[in-house]
Structure 1
Amino acid sequence: MIAKQSLHPEHYYDAKTLEVEQTQVFEKSWVFVGFKDQISQNHDFITLQVGNTPVVVQNFNGELSALLNVCSHRKAKLQTAQRGNRPLLCPYHCWSYKSDGALSGVPQNRTDFGLDDLAKKKLALKQFNLASCGNMLFVRVAKEGPRLDEFLGPYFNILEEISNDFVDPVQQGNYHWETNWKLACETVLEVYHVAGTHPETFAKFAKPEVEVAHFNGHTTGNTPLQDAPKKWWAGARKHLKLEQSTSYSEYNHFFIYPNLAIGLTNGSLMSLQTYEPKGTTQSQLNFQLRMMRRVDGGATSDAVKAAIKANFTEFNHTILEEDRLVAESCQANMQSIDSAGILGKCEERILHFHDAWRHDVQPHLPLRD
């Protein structure tokens, strides 16, 4: 038989599985934070949850630092928004911190706390590993582990190139899915479902074939585009004065384990998603759309973008909604079934994802067959 066994349904709703994933998958992996240009100004920040750990990546006068996003005083979140611009100052009692996590300010310290330098040092925020690949930022919560370039392998050069090419933000947002995070990831790891799930959308966009490459849990799926979207994007590039990537001109899709997906359309548009666990059967899909840089190196005005971006932003929304509905349908059946599904050769990217997941969790979690 060519087909191979998928993960047991229990691992898509089991609390112990998620507990192990948080520490052994997310906290030990390099997890995508955002783009450097999103936190280029002093006091800019991005927050995210990495496993069990709230993290803030903040700009301190040009120095970027990844720190625990929890005040040492009464455990309030330091930065409460997903992105923003404010000093690293607790909104509860105004304790403040430096780029290395050191406690820098305590109101009424002399009269009410009496913290000396040694006491302040013990209250410093934990600092995490932060590294960049081109314009992309990644964080690793675990103290020990491979460097980012070792973790990414051949994908380091790919991400470096595309992150420096696709520099014009178009749209960002998030969706709530009633699915386990793994099931959400799996929706983008094969084109076998396109005819059934996307007959009027993606099926008319790309051809039903894919060329796959992989390194550990990271994978590539290169799919030829239909003629119509190529013609549309040729016109869009002319109108917006965009360059076209010389390396990626079809539909080129990359998955970076554990939860980052990047799709490139005709060397012109980047669609990026991360899939964040919010519970055993809930996840949050965070997305960003970015266009290729302009030929003249300038910035495209919002008015010019508006004339054309509604087309592809609506297309992106429709595709994600179609995937959400079918994923939630599958999730609803997981607790009713006690046997694993099967995966065909056409779903080999999911197999690589599962192999990396098993490698991370197996020493800490009994796996069901």
Structure 2
Amino acid sequence: MIKPLILPSYYSDTEIFQREQMLIFQNLWNFAGFTTDLQSHNDYICAEIGGKSIIVQNFHGELQAFLNVCSHRFSQIHQLPQGNGVLKCPYHGWVYNCDGIPVAIPSVERFDINNETRESLRLEKWLVEVCGKLVFVKINDDGLTLKEFLGGVYDKLAKFSEAFGHKINEFKIKINANWKITTENTLEGYHVFSVHKNTFSKYGFPVDKKYICNEIHSAYSDKGNPKYIEKSKEAILLKKAESILESRPLKVGSFYHQLVFPNLTIATNDGIAFYLQIHQPINPVETKLTSHVFVSKLDIKSDFEQDIIDTLTQSLTKIYVEVCEEDKAICEIVQLGISSRNQEGGIFSLEEQRVYEFHKAYSKLINSPM
């Protein structure tokens, strides 16, 4: 009998939440954004990692990451999720260079500042590395590179992200549930026929299911159910788009879902579209789910072909958004239940083995010394 390793109280406890922020989100490589938003000098993105606002900024082609807090009087520096601008505090106008050192200080003669002082006032620096088009950051300089952290997933993520075409949808929703509940929900299909009656379940029980659970970054694939899929509206649209889709750079031959521990998931339906989700904890019982949907890179030769692809991707995106709303509702119900339970318990099926692997990775980290 496979039993959960995370106690029910860990899904609402404030002290546990603070340990997670330190030991998991600040300590590990975490997804921060896309290189496509950092193409030019002074392009920047901001991300919430472990309860902290982090800047990743392009300085003449080199990416640097800093805590988004001025070292003078602690104002946030950049306020937008992304943009272009010098690293300048809006409060008193301090400007920082690519090393995070203040190089322009209004009325500097009124301060007791020398070169050594400037050095002591540098911004808190974070590590930043890139995998394909995906940007990751972390504060803990323990020598573990992003490639080492991702292991066998590194090349797959790079190939996936390099196949991203233009973004066709981005949306954010707040879910009244712990981030572990929302993440675990994406790691199993056992709930599909109960929760997704009008979306996923209408395509029948999938075949050729495979679980890859030899790393903390677990994965799943299946080939759907041809008996049901061939009758669907999406199958008809796919048939119309078949010749156009041949130009896509990545063909995985199945639906594929990848967890990048702790809270990033990337899914694709045979390389046609890509669905990237970040499960960002707000507090012990609230999560911000951010979803990015990309269509594959395609060789579109006419407006007619573009119209076909647009119709297909609109249909796929509509289903995806509906599924997210269904998952939001059930995750909030689970949170209500688990918050009322004090003792350990529960049981996992074989279809929930990725959840169990998530529990193992989480438990090892959360019980390590701070």
TM-score (norm 2): 0.91
2:28 maps to what in 1?
29
1:20 maps to what in 2?
19
Alpha-carbon displacement from aligned partner over 1:8-65 (angstroms, at most 9, x marks no partner): 1100000111111111111111111122112112221111121143210011222211
SS in 1 for 2:41: coil
Structure 1 stretch displaced more, 149-158 or 226-235:
226-235
Which of 230, 240, 265 is equivalent to 1:261? 265
Query: 1:151, CA displacement in angstroms?
Result: 0.7
1:170 maps to what in 2?
168
Alpha-carbon displacement from aligned partner over 1:112-152 (angstroms, at most 9, x marks no partner): 22422111111001211111111211111112141111111
Instruction: Determine whether 1:350 maps to 2:350.
Output: no
Amino acid at match of 1:28: N
Question: Gaps spanning 5+ residues in structure 2: where?
Answer: none
1:63 maps to what in 2?
62
**Residue pairs, 1:33-112, within 5 angstroms:** 33-110=32-109, 112=110
Query: 1:286, CA displacement in angstroms?
Result: 1.0
2:200 maps to what in 1?
202
Instruction: Determine whether 1:285 maps to 2:284.
Output: no
Which of 313, 316, 320 is equivalent to 2:317? 313
Asked if the contact 1:206/1:251 (under 8 Å) is kept, the reply is: no
Amino acid at match of 2:354: R
Query: 1:363, CA displacement in angstroms?
Result: 2.6
Residue identity (%): 27
Structure 1 stretch displaced more, 227-236 or 144-153:
227-236
Q: Hey, what's the Cα distance between the residues in 1 that align with 2:95 and 2:78?
A: 11
SS in 1 for 2:294: strand
Alignment: residue pair count: 362
Q: Hey, what's the Cα distance between the residues in 2 that align with 1:158 and 1:269?
A: 15
Q: Hey, what's the Cα distance between the residues in 2 that align with 1:26 and 1:297?
A: 44
Q: Hey, what's the Cα distance between the residues in 1 that align with 2:98 and 2:305?
A: 34
Query: 1:163, CA displacement in angstroms?
Result: 0.8
Q: Hey, what's the Cα distance between the residues in 2 that align with 1:136 and 1:298?
A: 30
Asked if the contact 2:96/2:103 (under 8 Å) is kept, the reply is: yes
Instruction: Determine whether 1:211 maps to 2:210.
Output: yes
Structure 1 stretch displaced more, 349-358 or 130-139:
130-139
Q: Hey, what's the Cα distance between the residues in 1 that align with 2:125 and 2:239?
A: 46
TM-score (norm 1): 0.91
Asked if the contact 2:241/2:309 (under 8 Å) is kept, the reply is: no
SS in 2 for 1:343: coil
Q: Hey, what's the Cα distance between the residues in 1 that align with 2:305 and 2:168?
A: 11
67 and 252 in structure 1: CA distance in 2 versus 1, 3 angstrom threshold: same
Alpha-carbon displacement from aligned partner over 1:165-198 (angstroms, at most 9, x marks no partner): 1232212121111110100101110011000000
Asked if the contact 1:192/1:208 (under 8 Å) is kept, the reply is: no
Which of 127, 130, 154 is equivalent to 1:129? 127
SS in 1 for 2:87: coil
2:145 maps to what in 1?
147
Q: Hey, what's the Cα distance between the residues in 2 that align with 1:275 and 1:207?
A: 27
Asked if the contact 1:67/1:125 (under 8 Å) is kept, the reply is: yes
Q: Hey, what's the Cα distance between the residues in 2 that align with 1:309 and 1:80?
A: 32
Q: Hey, what's the Cα distance between the residues in 1 that align with 2:217 and 2:303?
A: 32
Q: Hey, what's the Cα distance between the residues in 2 that align with 1:249 and 1:234?
A: 16
Instruction: Determine whether 1:276 maps to 2:275.
Output: no
Query: 1:206, CA displacement in angstroms?
Result: 6.4
SS in 1 for 2:9: helix
Structure 1 stretch displaced more, 169-178 or 256-265:
169-178
Alpha-carbon displacement from aligned partner over 1:245-289 (angstroms, at most 9, x marks no partner): 544132110001000001101320000001011001011111111
Amino acid at match of 1:74: R
Alpha-carbon displacement from aligned partner over 1:76-95 (angstroms, at most 9, x marks no partner): 11111112222211111111
Amino acid at match of 2:218: T
Structure 1 stretch displaced more, 288-297 or 36-45:
288-297
Q: Hey, what's the Cα distance between the residues in 2 that align with 1:150 and 1:175?
A: 32
Q: Hey, what's the Cα distance between the residues in 1 that align with 2:66 and 2:136?
A: 13
